[in-house]
Every structure is written in structure tokens, then in C-alpha cells.
Amino acid sequence: MKGLKILGTGRCLPDKVVTNDDMRAFVDTSDEWIRTRTGIQTRHFCAEGESTASLGVKAARLALERAGISPEDLGACVGCTCSADSAAPTVASTIQRDLGLPKHIPYFDLNAGCSGFLYGLHVTRGLLLQSDKPYALLVGAETLSRVMNFQDRGTCVIFGDGAGAVVVKLEEEAPYAYTLGAEGGDDVIYIGGYGSKEPYIHMEGQKTFRFAVEMVPWCIHELLGQSGLKLEDIDWFVLHQANKRIIDHVAKKLGMPGERFYQNIAHYGNTSAASIPIALDEMAEQGLLKRGQKLLCVGFGAGLTWGGALLEW
Ligand code: ACO
């Protein structure tokens, strides 16, 4: 089975850094509450003139440069977002325009909440299997600060803006396993948009937490079962950065050392579909990723949805 190898990554975080203390200007909260309940210390918010697409374009440019490929060899470009600037143009088509990418390949966005990047990986692989081109560009980009209710302390301290991008190659020898799913309904996480009556994020935090700590280990076991690998064979677990306590809980439940689970939620908060590609880019930058390593990525979120993929660096 042909798998996906990541060739290059990029990220873009808005310059504006908002601390937990800064959030006290909006809601009755404290640095202590946010740190202990979530692990978040700061998040980035867009300024005037920045957009989901503009962050995505910058992350995509870096990923393409670092992958060192010719854009002519791209077979697809997929944007993953639940906070698109508009229904159209899409993030992906803006990337095509701004980076002058080849026209005759698919460009589109998909929305699977915080699982979007995982859905995007599997869709991208499917597109590459049908393409005569070897590479694809996948971008997770969010400006959740634009759909946040700054009077709801249960959500506004959680989310942040940012974008991450990867260039992947379809490769014969790379391992691959995936799992995607949904448990539909609008009562647990709701994100309004495009003129809806309630244009903000609403989240039942505890229900989402319980869902995550049950589904993430399930996804990991599912991916291991499909691939015949053991927990010890995985070099890095890169989970959606929603809450430090969720990641710690999963590592403990699996009996794995926490150091194998990359975490950066302290700096960015929950950037939804952008969180895993942002984490991958940081890991690459820090020299944590070595060629040939196996990565197990799992996302979960609005939908409710979940997704996991086994990839090669
Ligand atoms: N500051 C201070 N107090 C707060 C804050 C805050 N920012 N937010 C809530 N509280 C209070 C509540 O009012 C409540 O007070 P009460 O007991 O007097 O009523 C108390 O803290 C406990 O509230 P809970 O909501 O039960 O807090 P919890 O420990 O569950 O933490 C959190 C909330 C951090 C949101 C947690 O539930 C969580 O991380 N859930 C998972 C979120 C997630 O994974 N989302 C991913 C998907 S998102 C997507 O797809 C877009």
C-alpha cells in the first residue's frame, strides 16, 4: 500500500501574541485557571489585514521551499479549515493565485473541524493515487479569534489563530494506515458562520474532553492494528493540540512516555485544523524528526469527528 512521506513543512502565526493575563480584559479568568486546566500560556490572534487565507499562503510558501520540489509536480492542493474567510474563494484557490501554482490540478477546502488535517491527508492520498504527479500541498489554516465569543470564558481562552502546511509525496515504501469517522450532532461543538444567527464557537468542554480521551486511544490502536506495528515502533505521536491534559491522559492510558507526544499548546492554544501541521513544522525546525521515522497523527473535534493517520517523515 502506497503511503505518504512528508517532504517539507511551514507555519505562520500572526505576530500578535495574547497572554492569559491579556484575556482578563474580556472575561473573568486567571492565568492559573487557564494553565492548570489547559496548559495554554499564550495564543496568537490575527490583526487587521490578516486572514485565514493569508496565513495559509505564508505557511504553504515555506513548505514548498523546504520540500525543494517544483510546483509543476504538484498533483493537488487542499485547504483544511473551519474558519474560512468566506465560502469562496477558498483558502486553496487563494494559495494557487498568490503563489502562482499550476492551474490544472484540484484546489479546494475541506472542513472536518479540528480533524480537518487528518481528513485532508487521506483525501490528498486518494487524489495522488489518481494523479500522474507525485506531490501534494496540504494546508491547515484557522482564524478562530474571528468566530470567538469574547464573553464566553469557557471557549475564548482556548483557541488561537495560525496555519501549518506540509508537502507530501506518495511513496511505495512509506507505511500508511488511516481512520476517519464522525458522530454527528450540533450540541457539543457548534461554530456559526456565513450569516448564522449564532456566529460564534460554542463548546461543551467536558463532553468534548470525554470524547477525546476515549477516541484518541481508540484511533491509535486502530492504526497500529491496521499496520501491524506496536506502540514502540512509533517515533512520534502528534496529536491535535486541544488541551495538555488530554495529551497527558492519552500517553498515560497507553503507558507511553510523555516525551514521545509532542506538545506546543502552551504557545498557540487550540488552532484546530492547523495544530498538527504547525506541530510538525516546529518539530522539523528543532531537528526532532529524522528521515524514515514513523509518525502517528490523531485529530478530533467539531462534528464530532475524529481522524488518524500513520505517516513517514
Ligand atoms: N476561567 C476561569 N474559570 C472558568 C473558565 C475560565 N476561562 N472557563 C470555565 N470556567 C469555570 C466554569 O464556569 C466552571 O465554574 P463553576 O464550577 O463555578 O460552574 C468551572 O470553571 C469548570 O468549568 P468546566 O467547563 O467544567 O471546566 P473544565 O475543567 O471542563 O475545562 C475545558 C474546560 C478546558 C474547555 C475542557 O473541558 C476541555 O479542554 N475540553 C476539551 C476541548 C477540546 O478538546 N476541543 C477540541 C475540539 S474544538 C474544535 O473542533 C473546533
How much of the chain, in percent, has pLDDT values that exceed 90? 95
Region 263-292: mean pLDDT is 98
Catalytic status, residue 46: no
Cell numbers linked to 279: 506541530
Question: Which residues have C-beta atoms less than 6 Å from ligand 1?
Answer: 29, 33-34, 37-38, 82, 113-114, 153-154, 157-158, 189, 203, 205-206, 208-209, 212, 242-243, 246, 270, 272, 301-302
For a substitution probing ligand 1, which of 28, 37, 150 has the most ligand atoms within 8 Å of its CB? Answer: 37
- Cα angle 133-138-142, degrees, rounded to a multiple of 5: 160
Kindly report, residue by residue over 25-74, the tens digit of the pLDDT: 999 999 999 999 999 999 999 999 999 999 999 999 999 999 999 999 99
- Cell numbers for 203: 463548546
CA distances from 83 to 55, 111, 226 (A): 12, 9, 32
> By the 8 A CB rule, do 273 and 159 touch?
no
- Residue 199's pLDDT is what? 82
Give the atom of ligand 1 at the shortest distance from the alpha carbon of 114.
50
CB 139 within 8 A of CB 277: yes
d(CA 307, CA 221): 12
Mutate to test the pocket of ligand 1, among 33, 209, 300 (most ligand atoms within 8 A of CB): 209
Q: Which amino acid makes up residue 216?
A: V
